Structure 1
Amino acid sequence: MVDREILKIAIAALLHDIGKFSERASVEIPQDYVINNQALYQPKYNHRYTHRHSLHTAYFFDSFSKYLPKQILTDSTADTSLINLAAMHHKPTSAEQLIIREADILSSGIERKEFEEQDAQSRMPKEIPLSTIFEDISINENWKENKPESFKFVYPLATLSPKSIFPVEKSSLKQIDYKTLYEQFIELFKKLPHIEYSPLWFEHLDSLLFLFTSSIPSATVTRDDAGDFKEIITDISLYDHSRLTAAIATAFYAYHRETNSINIDAIKDRDIEKFLLIEGNFYGIQDFIFSDTGDTRKNAAKLLRGRSFYVSLLSELASDFIVEKIGLPSTSIVVNAAGKFRMILPNTERAIKLLAEAENEINDWLIKNFYGEVSIGISSVTASFNVLIDTETLSDIGKKLGKVSEERKFHKFDILKYAGAKTTYLNEFSSEFGICPLCNRRPAGDRNKIDDEHLCDVCFDHVNIGRNLTSKDYIAITYKDADLKDKLRIPIYNRYQLAFITGKLRDLVEAGKVRHFWDINSLWQEELHLSKELFSIKLINAYVPRFTEEHKDAEILEKLKYDESEESLKEIDNLINYGGILSFAHLGKLSLHKIDSEYQGVPALGVFKADVDNLGTIFMKGLRKEKRTFSRYTTLSRQLNLFFTLYVPYLCRTEFKNIYTVFTGGDDLFVIGPWKDTFEFALRVKEDFSKYCCENREISLSAGLFITKSETPVINMAKFSEEALDKAKQKGKNKLTVFDVSVSWDDLSKLAEIESHLHNWLEEEIITKAFSYKLNEIVKMVEEEIHLRQSNSFDLSSLNSLTWRAKLYYSTIRNVAKGYPKDKRIEIAEEVLTHLSLWLEKYRESMRIPLWKTLYMRRKA
């Protein structure tokens, strides 16, 4: 349970700069309030009151106190009241207020000279947009001059959405409207639910700030050495700054409380290692998701979807388990994405002891239920304020934590504790139900019957989750003793239950049984519904293609029904009427197309896997030295994660509706769809990622695309797409590997033009499919020639590959434009030969890509 006083510190820290939002929205503060409170909250500079946003913060708390949890507002002195903790961070008079100030400075990453934005002689703060961190990333130290006019991309001021996360050019930016945004924020703030249960309300508040302050700059001006105001690079959002301030402040407070040192002198001592920086890694995630299974045909999609979400849940709740055990709020978890989390804890004996206990309890549970397939490894380093405020030492701490984390991978389990024969393993199986047909690992049980199959508890949970994810909008995480109907067979970490239903929620909240309540669908909408309550936002990558009205189109419906039995035809009609999920087999058929009343093409799937290149190097040296601050590292992690967790699923929902998201998050993605659609999707993701990163060529994607039949086991899909991705990395990165050829993204667009030529030649009967297959043989010879020249070793049997030019000439002159008049035929053949010779010389084995795509599309179904 989160400690009440620590939660108060977290709320105060999270809202300490809310006054910047209201000030830029031109909220009017009554003159009598100014007169009575200005001296209390605002410091002076040159005999003038500065930092007016502090007064705005105080006015916010006074104006909306009835919408704050009563448990947090009561039993406080002037020194520890919520309003004073938040609003006096520039003029602290108590140890607790000083903690918020120190956290504010540390989160900012620089001890700024005091100033008030409103006094600046440059542009007004509300006219300065948020810059993007991506434009100033360089692993080759090719940074632009570090001044605002050097950068041209900014974020539009808007609520967070799949579109608003993309930067735009300053010149195209519309007028900034803080007033409307603030009014919408207040409207939803007043409706935040679960005010009677503070930790749950606090998480909803965090999501509200996430939605409304992610595009607001945290600071816009500073003073130079001469004392004059100047505009600064505004690449840290108010949300990132405020949330990190909350994480630091709670660790700060917990440290001093547990060491009985809540006094100003102790708090000002910046050399003591008060912080414990934690990195948690889940090992074996992909092996777990794609583990070899038995007969999964009936529930393959549900199982895959359920497993993918389940491992995200394991990581989410592992970090939650730790902070809850120590008594810290959710904001102490700084980053949680793609099986990795980072958090800030107090460096106390109690926290270290509880952290070790939590790790052991989690791994005990994982070993018991998953036999070592997955495990969690916790790494930590200690740090002081002075180490974290300095960009050089902060970078060193990051490297040290990374090194400790890498070393941790080599001892994922305590061998002495977990090794040895499991003598009772076979005793768990019954002669009646035997082994689970989905995992081939655990005993099947009588109570877990799905589609006439008896499953084990774990697979039953995964299939059940996979089914519900596509049809429910909310997820409740409760404690295991909560009274729920449809719940997990095995509570996670023997502590948490999961429910997709909202029944009895109010009663469960009042009883303190609800740990989290997540909205998993709101952010996919174009606009927020201001009339609804806003719950904690959780980005769950659970998009699956469904049968819709679009599939009733005669042409599409004919594809789906192609080569189906009479029974299956009726099933397809039912699936369309009831919005059922498209199977892998159906997705494959959507790659077919009709030519002359006959279906052509390969009814296959495209399995696409991609991730960001050089991610470790980007974090280690991508930021210029003076910008290597806590807030920017956090911002960089969150921004990368948003592209994959928010935008990519949105792209599937709106434009690539037949693409199945297996997982997207952190810095990578894995999707499955009709192979033709997946090709287009791959190019679109690359194009949009480049736009998202301001066309910064030092931030790139590598990817693998594997074409396969729909009945291929998922484990093989994962294996071969991973191998294709690895090959792209080995060939220099920033490439796509498809058909076992790695090619740069830039060349793909040019190869697409070649593909268009090949299609047109076939349509116009200039070339035949037989000639296309002959070209395929010539491409092989070109590839062999390359290997010969690279190896610099020749023998008689391999010299045949050097004759490809002659064979190309012979085949072209002999076979091209056969049905055309002789004089026209020679002209066309020469043109085709010229094109093919140039393409083969330039693109070599990469010619396989347009050629094979053409052959795949022209093959009789």
Structure 2
Amino acid sequence: MTDHPRLAAACRVALAAYLHDLGKFAERARIPEALDSADGQNNTRADLEKQNYCPFFNGRHTHVHAAYTAIGFDLLEKHLPRLVGGDMAPFAPWRTRDADDSLINAAARHHKPETHLQWIVATADRLASGFEREEFAAYNQAADEEPGRKLDHYTTRQWTLLESICLDRPEDRAETPAWRYQLRPLSPAAIFPMRAEQCENVGKTAAQAEYLALWDGFREGLERIPEPHRANLPLWLDHFDSLWLAYTHAIPAATAGIGGKVRPEVSLYDHSKTTAALAVALWRYHADREDDPAQVRERLRAQWDRERESLDLSRQAWEEEKFLLVQGDLFGIQDFIFATGGETQKRAAKLLRGRSFYVSLLTELAALRILEALGLPATSQVVNAAGKFLIVAPNTPETLATLDAVRAEFDRWFLRHSFGQSGIGIACVPARCDDFRAGGKDEPSPFRGLMERLFRALETAKLRRFGLCGEAPAPAVFDDFLERFKEGECKIDGRSPAEVKEGGVWMNRLAADQIDIGHWLANRNRLLVTSERVQPLYEGQNLNQLRLDIFGFHVLFTATEDETGKFGQEAKTYNLRRAWDFSLPESGGAALWHGYARRHINAYIPRFRATDLDEAALGKYDGLDPEDRDNESLDLPKTLNHLARDDRQPDEKNPGRWVGAEALTTLKGDVDNLGRIFQKGMERPSFAKMAALSRQMNAFFAVYLPWLCATDYPDTYTVFAGGDDFFLVGPWHSTLGLAQTMKTEFARYVAGNQEIHFSAGLSMTKPGLPIRQLAELAEDALDAAKTHNPEQTHPVPKNAATAFGESVAWADFDELMKLEKKLADLAGGQGLSTGYLYGLLRYIDMAEQEKAYQAAIARGETPNIAIENALWHSHFAYQTRRLVETRFRDIEDPKQREALRRDLQSELAQRIAEDGIKKHGAAYRIALFTYLYLQRD
């Protein structure tokens, strides 16, 4: 049995609401089962079901997808949880599909609702889209196929929401965007948009065939959910959510009304998810209060039905605060990941990946703990990315009291294991149905106001950590703190009491778990969450369990499902709460679905390839610590010391010698102006759009970036990547190229929208630098990029990168990388000496001083800068002349010798002095240092 008495019922409500638009998928695929003759009058199954589920307007049935929802349920039933039987609460205890208050009818009658539960689903459907009453009435009368439309609901492809984000000039927003998503399953390749003409100019038959192929893949994928898990409805629903995402992320939820208020820019997945979350919260609100279902039905009917309007009932339905938006935010992430003790460096790579994964695990399990405490299904969690989550709950006193208890539980766990260095803040914002309206051009958007309250509430929660300012604050003094140091301090984080001895080193259990995770991630791809420890039941199997429970859950890592028998018995007894697949994509285009709920919380790990081992035999890693060398085997993870040498290249002139700096680059960045993007960027914001925007922003960093590293930058650790930010560590020079590629690919991902971009800080360091210092340097570099100027020289603030201590706009960064290649060509072709190149640093300094001098004069100030700096160009010309005089001294013909000298001096003056130093000033160091470090011994 489940712990919460209403959880199973809530899951059934969620399933009905989640699949209310199943028919859009099925109808666009023209599934043959719906078109076969069903009676003696040659009526198809679809013809008959239209009578039951579709509105009738102007002599025709509209929204025929509702009929296909009922048909789709029948086709999928054998692979769904039990839908027929005696205990179907809150639906009627029915044994046939014809029962009025059945789960199927609640899903399929969302355009013709009659019963209390049908109105619950219908209301959630409309709120998720941000509809107002009159607007929905017009939409409900619209047909999918309208005369004169160039595209119909088969051929229309989903617009990209990211293309339409506009912060400063909403008048520039295109009426019809130019980019679309291709109709493909979720994969690293499929999340990128294409030009409309590349994927939308297909005929109706071809478009239907694309839908049918997707439908067939979905049905096959449904069969892959383990059969024993169907008996555990909360577990199964979490699996199904990932399957639905994989096959509906690019299906437009609405196509009617194109060119008007309804734009096909929200996916069927995001609409389904938000509808389910709202439906469950709405049902639970009334059920927990024991409201009369008949009265609830009338209030909801009055809310939307103009012909039966009761002003008092309608106002009450719109303005009653029925929903509670629960936000969670993990704070202290940096302190958690980069805590440093004496033994940290020896296990740096394992700790980085283990701690990063643990951070994601904490957020996932915190959300799960709240869901279970409130009796809500997985679909009630609409956002979970980068340490933040959002859950939709009923706004009842019981909910608030439960959240207070869970908040205290979180505080105790973090105070016990992190001593207040990190924790989870919980913020709650009540909401009315009216708050979900998108609004119109002539009024402020109610939903935009709700989002602003959400952001403010979370900021306030961050300042109230551990309830220290509340009426009953958590203890700020640990009574048994000193007594816990019987074995000294943890040698991994340097601050906690040691509890266990692993590998001869004393550490706390949390650190030991993180090290184990760092090891297991190399050969595990599935995670199990249970309420009771299960290890003794599976002795001898490839299964590993964490020492610490997390918020009352026990966590196990396993490889393939065959090795653990799919945990059927644990699923049936509800001990198995969740089973998550966190494997990385196997290919760029394969569907991200393996039969289990997916969590994109794994990091890409660099491993030894055959070419690495060949280079090791040639001496590339000679001189490293023996502990590092012992790790050099095919497919084993690389250490940071190996990565620091991976950009070194063999010296062509001296066999056995390797050149290039031995160093790492840490790359840290995040999306600029994210708060404004969510609060101001959407023209008509809605709950579904907000969820879609969050999911899509996360997908680039959590889905695509690890794949990019695996394919093109295989020596880069993705320490963390998700939400809107990333932290990567790799060989110093390759990481410069990765930063450029990420910038280019992100621009492609957002359909070239110049108002969505990220800034990044790159910090080059020796591999032995303490991890915490490495992180701080990267953070400082990112801060410099974020504050890089802006208006004077570049029209777009931020949108910059910092490298070698210099901050530049991305366009300049790209140009500087090109200048480095030109410098390399010059140095190699013309024999530029190392002394000459290092001397350029002095001229860069002088040029910067001259620039500052001129700026002070322009401001009417007396500059405190030597005027001699203006002579840098003359000094450069003198040194260049000396260089070229020696370059061609063996040419006997004086005219030819002088001509060659003059040409080379002119070329160096143009490419280095003019294109480099004069144009870019101090930033030219980026090009110069890049070249010089590539030549180092």
Same fold flag (TM > 0.5): yes
Q: Distance in 1 between matches of 2:144 and 2:854?
A: 68
Matches within 5 A, 1:264-275: 264-267=297-300, 268=303, 269-275=317-323
Matched, 1:255 2:285: yes
Matched, 1:235 2:265: yes
Q: Distance in 2 between matches of 1:506 and 1:796?
A: 78
Matched, 1:838 2:900: no
Task: Name the counterpart of 1:288.
Answer: 336
2:60 to 35, 48, 52: 48
In the TM superposition, residue 190 of structure 1 has moved relative to its aligned partner by 2.9
Task: Name the counterpart of 1:206.
Answer: 241
Output the amino acid matched with 1:164: A
Output the amino acid matched with 1:435: E
Output the amino acid matched with 2:882: R
The SS at the match of 1:609 is: strand
Q: Distance in 2 between matches of 1:581 and 1:520?
A: 18
Q: Distance in 1 between matches of 2:569 and 2:86?
A: 24
2:752 to 690, 695, 698: 695
- C-alpha change, 1:231 and 1:319, in structure 2 (3 Å) is closer
In the TM superposition, residue 290 of structure 1 has moved relative to its aligned partner by 1.1
In the TM superposition, residue 564 of structure 1 has moved relative to its aligned partner by 4.3
User: Would the aligned equivalents of 1:475 and 1:498 in 2 still touch at CA under 8 Å?
Assistant: yes
Q: Distance in 1 between matches of 2:258 and 2:914?
A: 60
Matches within 5 A, 1:122-161: 122=149, 123-144=151-172, 147-148=175-176, 151-161=177-187
Task: Name the counterpart of 2:810.
Answer: 745
In the TM superposition, residue 413 of structure 1 has moved relative to its aligned partner by 2.3
Greater displacement, 304-313 / 268-277 = 268-277
In the TM superposition, residue 186 of structure 1 has moved relative to its aligned partner by 0.9
Task: Name the counterpart of 2:307.
Answer: none
Greater displacement, 415-424 / 189-198 = 415-424
In the TM superposition, residue 747 of structure 1 has moved relative to its aligned partner by 1.3
Task: Name the counterpart of 1:614.
Answer: 673
- C-alpha change, 1:838 and 1:22, in structure 2 (3 Å) is same
Matched, 1:588 2:623: no
Task: Name the counterpart of 1:464.
Answer: 516
Task: Name the counterpart of 2:716.
Answer: 659
Task: Name the counterpart of 2:886.
Answer: 818
Give the superposed CA RMSD.
2.2
Task: Name the counterpart of 1:227.
Answer: none
User: Would the aligned equivalents of 2:604 and 2:710 in 1 still touch at CA under 8 Å?
Assistant: yes
Matched, 1:704 2:752: no
- C-alpha change, 1:798 and 1:409, in structure 2 (3 Å) is farther
Matched, 1:725 2:782: yes
Q: Distance in 1 between matches of 2:415 and 2:666?
A: 31
Q: Distance in 1 between matches of 2:400 and 2:84?
A: 27
- C-alpha change, 1:401 and 1:568, in structure 2 (3 Å) is closer
User: What does the per-residue CA deviation read over 1:166-217, in whole Å, with 9 as the maximum and x for residues that have no partner?
Assistant: 0000122274411111111111213322111111111111111000000000
- C-alpha change, 1:445 and 1:403, in structure 2 (3 Å) is closer
- C-alpha change, 1:814 and 1:435, in structure 2 (3 Å) is same
User: Would the aligned equivalents of 2:670 and 2:760 in 1 still touch at CA under 8 Å?
Assistant: yes
Matches within 5 A, 1:442-453: 442-446=496-500, 448-449=501-502, 451-453=503-505
Matched, 1:849 2:849: no
Task: Name the counterpart of 1:222.
Answer: 257
Output the amino acid matched with 2:215: Y
Task: Name the counterpart of 1:181.
Answer: 214
User: Would the aligned equivalents of 2:664 and 2:766 in 1 still touch at CA under 8 Å?
Assistant: yes
- C-alpha change, 1:682 and 1:182, in structure 2 (3 Å) is same
In the TM superposition, residue 80 of structure 1 has moved relative to its aligned partner by 3.2
Q: Distance in 1 between matches of 2:173 and 2:934?
A: 50
Output the amino acid matched with 1:605: L
In the TM superposition, residue 466 of structure 1 has moved relative to its aligned partner by 1.1
In the TM superposition, residue 674 of structure 1 has moved relative to its aligned partner by 0.5
In the TM superposition, residue 412 of structure 1 has moved relative to its aligned partner by 1.2
User: What does the per-residue CA deviation read over 1:300-354, in whole Å, with 9 as the maximum and x for residues that have no partner?
Assistant: 1111111111111111111111111010011111111111111211111111111
The SS at the match of 1:125 is: coil
The SS at the match of 1:764 is: helix
Task: Name the counterpart of 2:839.
Answer: 774
1:829 to 881, 885, 905: 905
Q: Distance in 1 between matches of 2:809 and 2:412?
A: 45
- C-alpha change, 1:817 and 1:281, in structure 2 (3 Å) is farther
Task: Name the counterpart of 1:536.
Answer: 597
Task: Name the counterpart of 1:63.
Answer: 75
- C-alpha change, 1:529 and 1:721, in structure 2 (3 Å) is closer
In the TM superposition, residue 729 of structure 1 has moved relative to its aligned partner by 0.6
Matches within 5 A, 1:533-572: 534-554=595-615, 557-558=617-618, 560-564=620-624, 571=630
In the TM superposition, residue 796 of structure 1 has moved relative to its aligned partner by 7.1
In the TM superposition, residue 569 of structure 1 has moved relative to its aligned partner by 9.1
User: Would the aligned equivalents of 1:161 and 1:526 in 2 still touch at CA under 8 Å?
Assistant: yes
- C-alpha change, 1:325 and 1:762, in structure 2 (3 Å) is same
User: Would the aligned equivalents of 2:527 and 2:555 in 1 still touch at CA under 8 Å?
Assistant: no
User: Would the aligned equivalents of 2:716 and 2:729 in 1 still touch at CA under 8 Å?
Assistant: yes
User: Would the aligned equivalents of 2:628 and 2:641 in 1 still touch at CA under 8 Å?
Assistant: no
Greater displacement, 64-73 / 104-113 = 64-73
In the TM superposition, residue 784 of structure 1 has moved relative to its aligned partner by 2.8
Q: Distance in 2 between matches of 1:528 and 1:844?
A: 47
Sequence identity, in percent? Answer: 33
The SS at the match of 1:816 is: helix
In the TM superposition, residue 568 of structure 1 has moved relative to its aligned partner by 6.7
Q: Distance in 2 between matches of 1:138 and 1:524?
A: 35
User: Would the aligned equivalents of 1:522 and 1:528 in 2 still touch at CA under 8 Å?
Assistant: no
Greater displacement, 67-76 / 628-637 = 67-76
Task: Name the counterpart of 2:42.
Answer: none
Q: Distance in 1 between matches of 2:856 and 2:602?
A: 46
Output the amino acid matched with 2:702: T
Q: Distance in 1 between matches of 2:829 and 2:878?
A: 21
- C-alpha change, 1:93 and 1:164, in structure 2 (3 Å) is same
Greater displacement, 260-269 / 733-742 = 260-269
- C-alpha change, 1:73 and 1:623, in structure 2 (3 Å) is farther
Greater displacement, 18-27 / 44-53 = 44-53
Task: Name the counterpart of 1:759.
Answer: 824
In the TM superposition, residue 35 of structure 1 has moved relative to its aligned partner by 5.4
User: Would the aligned equivalents of 2:603 and 2:721 in 1 still touch at CA under 8 Å?
Assistant: no
- What are structure 1's unaligned runs of at least 5 residues? 225-229
User: Would the aligned equivalents of 1:606 and 1:708 in 2 still touch at CA under 8 Å?
Assistant: yes
- C-alpha change, 1:294 and 1:632, in structure 2 (3 Å) is same
User: Would the aligned equivalents of 1:561 and 1:569 in 2 still touch at CA under 8 Å?
Assistant: no
Matched, 1:402 2:455: yes
The SS at the match of 1:691 is: helix
Q: Distance in 1 between matches of 2:321 and 2:739?
A: 46
User: Would the aligned equivalents of 1:319 and 1:341 in 2 still touch at CA under 8 Å?
Assistant: yes
Q: Distance in 2 between matches of 1:523 and 1:537?
A: 11
Q: Distance in 2 between matches of 1:359 and 1:165?
A: 36
- C-alpha change, 1:343 and 1:791, in structure 2 (3 Å) is farther
Task: Name the counterpart of 2:372.
Answer: 324
- C-alpha change, 1:145 and 1:771, in structure 2 (3 Å) is closer
- C-alpha change, 1:255 and 1:832, in structure 2 (3 Å) is same
Output the amino acid matched with 2:765: T
In the TM superposition, residue 527 of structure 1 has moved relative to its aligned partner by 4.9
User: What does the per-residue CA deviation read over 1:775-807, in whole Å, with 9 as the maximum and x for residues that have no partner?
Assistant: 011112222333444455656773343321221
User: Would the aligned equivalents of 1:479 and 1:497 in 2 still touch at CA under 8 Å?
Assistant: no
In the TM superposition, residue 608 of structure 1 has moved relative to its aligned partner by 0.4
- C-alpha change, 1:513 and 1:231, in structure 2 (3 Å) is same
User: Would the aligned equivalents of 1:152 and 1:170 in 2 still touch at CA under 8 Å?
Assistant: yes
In the TM superposition, residue 522 of structure 1 has moved relative to its aligned partner by 5.9
Q: How many residues align?
A: 841
- C-alpha change, 1:36 and 1:697, in structure 2 (3 Å) is closer
Output the amino acid matched with 1:515: R
In the TM superposition, residue 231 of structure 1 has moved relative to its aligned partner by 9.8
Matches within 5 A, 1:477-492: 477-483=529-535, 486-492=544-550
Q: Distance in 2 between matches of 1:233 and 1:44?
A: 23
Output the amino acid matched with 1:234: P
